């Protein structure tokens, strides 16, 4: 079994940290991630710098990262102005968020869900015409901080709309970290009724269910999982909470479960240590503190 | 589906915290846990006070806890002297640890595994004669900090020895937090080849796999799971690491997975807050920080 880990530390991780990290440090973090085996990296987001000052250097980051045929960079965009910037900066893929509930969509993106879907269609069409792959991320697919539970059928409807509007991949995001493996299985089932596109998942470990969810997603056939080295990122709706599932902790769990990810644990721990130093606060990831446990499976050693 | 949560915060939790907590605070913690629905509590251990000063007040704790027909107290014992004390203190059950590897057994209990099994037999016989239920906990069943991987067949052999020596329940402990759900399934399978006794699991979240393991254990038919309110406890072999899986985080995951545990989340969070204050340091559990869902969004207040 195998799954691709999409490294989102440089984007979703740093975007939700209060500390501002220099462009040079972001690039060093990305270089360390590539050295650890990361091959698909959400490097930055092209949003208004007043809204997300942590990502104000998007162009400079993209200008500074190493360009290799085997590494793809993703830029997050929320509108066509962002797409213009992403295209000019030379990203390989774009990720566009459509939030599952009206209240969260209005607060997060200042538009209704219907408008977000229209915007996704416009972005998707132009990005694909430019040769870029397009991911539609359904935000708050497992629950909304304002509206509470989200009906899986509503999520499936949004998945279908995004597929029809030209997505190459669907990502389902547990933005506030409320889901459990049973929710993952349910969302995979309803999504599979409307599409056979690759499914990617984005988990936060806000309530300590993120790793169980990640393993359940792999079990259910997900092709990609988002994670951030160090587990940085937090949750804007629960200020004291932890962030994305950590790449190193996920790498450990996958390796011991016999699932190939292409990542090398000690390298990811090094990347996390680097960004931990920049942020000046202990990261939530546990592998850096606990240490690896003998290279793998009980019988053979991976 | 249902599973019993064995609250081990007062024993395994406090035993591994450097702060010494007063007897009165321990009793208040236990009372808060009972108010939250805890009905089976590992209240203390009867070991030499020089080895584990945190548990030196075992008799005073047992003399002070509320006695109710619906609440069972477990005392951990490692030898017959400990059993004498546990019997005199009036515990309802004893838990005896047999470590899976020679090196860990020598370091932890100062005896070989064979001697530990003989000791278990002696303790078990006398405890059962006194009308107490006896649990055999196989320590380091998922991996050893000194010897590395532990062969599941070795664990199964120890399970069989403990069953033959009179255990009423078998607990499999991931003492250093290295396992993944596949390990849980494998250990359940090999244990089921040698016994149909109730299986209990003890997970540490040292490498962020504890909750996935707990859900996997329930899925595999485990009847009981250990957890500590607050997730207190740490790991003596990885000083910076987190401790037992947290009762409140487990309660959340189980409730949302449709598994009844009898615990009420807000009550467990209150018990954890109480012990957090005593320890003077933030506990690893996340539910107290993130808040329940839906019963409490960040906006509306929990």
Contact between B290 and A207 using a beta-carbon 8 Å cutoff: yes
Shortest Cα distance from B142 to chain A (angstroms)? 9
pLDDT in tens, A130-159: 999 999 999 999 999 999 999 999 999 999
Contact between A212 and B215 using a beta-carbon 8 Å cutoff: yes
* DSSP single-letter state for residue A119: H
**What would the mean pLDDT of B155-178 be, rounded to a whole number?**
97
pLDDT-based confidence at residue B109 (cuts at 50, 70, 90): confident
Instruction: Identify the active-site residue in A138, A184, A235, A245.
Output: A235
Of A264, A256, A250, whose CA–CA distance to A294 is shortest?
A256
Residue B299 has what pLDDT? 39
In chain A, residues 85-144 whose CB comes closer than 8 Å to chain B: 143
| Residue A296, pLDDT above cutoff 60 | no
Q: For residue B144, indicate whether it is catalytic.
A: no
Residue B242 has what pLDDT? 78
Q: Average model confidence (pLDDT) for chain A?
A: 94
Contact between A211 and B206 using a beta-carbon 8 Å cutoff: no
Residue A88 has what pLDDT? 98
A300 touches chain B (CB under 8 A): no
Contact between A241 and B299 using a beta-carbon 8 Å cutoff: no
Contact between B207 and A235 using a beta-carbon 8 Å cutoff: no
Shortest Cα distance from B44 to chain A (angstroms)? 26
* DSSP single-letter state for residue A54: G
Contact between A290 and B258 using a beta-carbon 8 Å cutoff: no
| Residue A246, pLDDT above cutoff 90 | yes
d(CA B218, CA B205): 16
Contact between B211 and A215 using a beta-carbon 8 Å cutoff: no
Residue A234 has what pLDDT? 77
| Residue A302, pLDDT above cutoff 70 | no
Contact between A145 and B253 using a beta-carbon 8 Å cutoff: no
Shortest Cα distance from A188 to chain B (angstroms)? 16
Cβ atoms of B139 and B146 closer than 8 Å: no
Residue B238 has what pLDDT? 67
pLDDT in tens, A52-62: 999 999 999 99
Report the interhelical angle of A181-192 vs A210-219 (nearest 10°): 40
pLDDT in tens, A100-114: 999 999 998 899 999
A253 touches chain B (CB under 8 A): yes
ipTM of the complex: 0.95
Contact between A148 and B215 using a beta-carbon 8 Å cutoff: no
In chain B, residues 159-198 whose CB comes closer than 8 Å to chain A: 176-183, 186
Write the DSSP assignment of chain B as a string of letters.
-B-EEEE-IIIIIHHT-SS---HHHHHHHHHHHHHTT--EEEEEEES-TTT-GGGTTHHHHHHHSPP-TT-EEEEEESSHHHHHHHHHHT-SEEEEEEESSHHHHHHHHSS-HHHHHHHHHHHHHHHHHTT-EEEEEEETTT-BTTTB---HHHHHHHHHHHHHTT-SEEEEEETTS---HHHHHHHHHHHHTT--S-EEEEEB-TTS-HHHHHHHHHHTT-SEEEEBTTSTT--TTSTTS--BPBHHHHHHHHHHTT-B-S--HHHHHHHHHHHHHHHTS--S-SHHHH--SSS--TTT--
**What would the mean pLDDT of A26-45 be, rounded to a whole number?**
98
d(CA A292, CA B205): 14
Q: Of the CATH numbers 1.25.40.10, 3.90.470.10, 3.20.20.70, 3.40.50.150, which one belongs to the domain with range B4-290?
A: 3.20.20.70
Chains A & B: contacts with CB separation below 8 Å: 142
pLDDT-based confidence at residue B293 (cuts at 50, 70, 90): very high
pLDDT-based confidence at residue B296 (cuts at 50, 70, 90): very low
pLDDT-based confidence at residue B295 (cuts at 50, 70, 90): low
pLDDT in tens, B213-237: 999 999 999 999 999 999 999 776 6
pLDDT in tens, B242-279: 789 999 999 999 999 999 999 999 999 999 999 999 99
Residue B248 has what pLDDT? 98
Closest residue in A to B216 (Cα) is A212
Instruction: Identify the active-site residue in B117, B215, B232, B235.
Output: B235
* DSSP single-letter state for residue A239: T
In chain A, residues 133-162 whose CB comes closer than 8 Å to chain B: 143, 145-146, 148-149
Q: Which residues contact B57 (CB under 8 A, 6 or more apart)?
A: B23, B26, B44
A299 touches chain B (CB under 8 A): yes
- Between B108 and B98, name the one with better pLDDT: B98
| Residue B297, pLDDT above cutoff 50 | no
Among A207, A233, A276, A292, which would you mutate to test the B interface (most chain B Cβ atoms within 10 Å of its Cβ)? A207
Q: Is the peptide bond before B141 cis (omega within 30 degrees of 0)?
A: no
d(CA A255, CA A240): 30
pLDDT in tens, B113-132: 999 999 999 999 999 999 99
Residue A277 has what pLDDT? 97
**What would the mean pLDDT of A175-188 be, rounded to a whole number?**
97
d(CA B286, CA B264): 16
Spell out which residues of chain B touch residue A177, defining contact as CB-CB under 8 Å.
290
Residue B234 has what pLDDT? 78
Shortest Cα distance from B282 to chain A (angstroms)? 11
| Residue B240, pLDDT above cutoff 80 | no
Spell out which residues of chain B touch residue A149, defining contact as CB-CB under 8 Å.
294
pLDDT in tens, A251-272: 999 999 999 999 999 999 999 9
Contact between B176 and A246 using a beta-carbon 8 Å cutoff: no
Q: Average model confidence (pLDDT) for chain B?
A: 94
Closest residue in B to A247 (Cα) is B208
Among A146, A298, A302, which would you mutate to test the B interface (most chain B Cβ atoms within 10 Å of its Cβ)? A298
Cβ-based burial of A135 (10 A; exposed 0-12, middle 13-18, buried ≥19): buried
């Amino acid at each position: 079994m195998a799954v691709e880990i999409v490294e989102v530390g440089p984007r979703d991780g740093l975007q939700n940290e209060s500390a501002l990290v220099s462009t040079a440090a972001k690039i060093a973090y990305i270089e360390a991630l590539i050295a650890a085996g990361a091959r698909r990296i959400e490097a930055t987001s092209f949003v208004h710098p007043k809204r997300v000052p942590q990502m104000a250097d998007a162009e400079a980051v993209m200008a500074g990262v190493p360009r290799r045929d085997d590494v793809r960079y993703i830029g997050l965009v929320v509108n066509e102005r962002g797409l213009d910037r992403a295209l000019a900066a030379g990203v390989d893929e774009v990720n566009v968020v459509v939030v599952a509930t009206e209240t969260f969509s209005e607060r997060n993106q200042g538009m209704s869900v219907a408008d977000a879907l229209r915007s996704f269609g416009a972005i998707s069409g132009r990005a694909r015409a430019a040769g870029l792959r397009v991911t539609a991320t359904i935000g708050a697919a497992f629950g909304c901080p304002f509206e509470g539970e989200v009906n899986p059928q509503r999520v499936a409807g949004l998945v279908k709309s995004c597929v029809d509007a030209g997505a190459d991949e669907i990502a389902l995001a547990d933005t506030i970290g409320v889901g459990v493996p049973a929710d993952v299985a349910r969302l995979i089932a309803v999504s599979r009724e409307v599409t056979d596109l690759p499914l990617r998942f984005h988990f936060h470990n806000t309530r300590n269910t993120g790793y169980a969810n990640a393993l359940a997603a792999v079990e259910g056939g997900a092709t990609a999982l988002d994670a951030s080295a160090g587990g940085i990122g937090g949750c804007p709706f629960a200020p004291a909470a932890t962030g994305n599932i950590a790449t190193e902790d996920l790498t450990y769990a996958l390796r011991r479960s016999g699932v190939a990810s292409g990542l090398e644990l000690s390298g990811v721990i090094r990347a996390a240590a680097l960004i931990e130093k920049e942020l000046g606060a202990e990261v939530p990831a546990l592998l850096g503190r606990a240490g690896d446990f003998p290279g793998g499976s009980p019988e053979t050693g991976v």
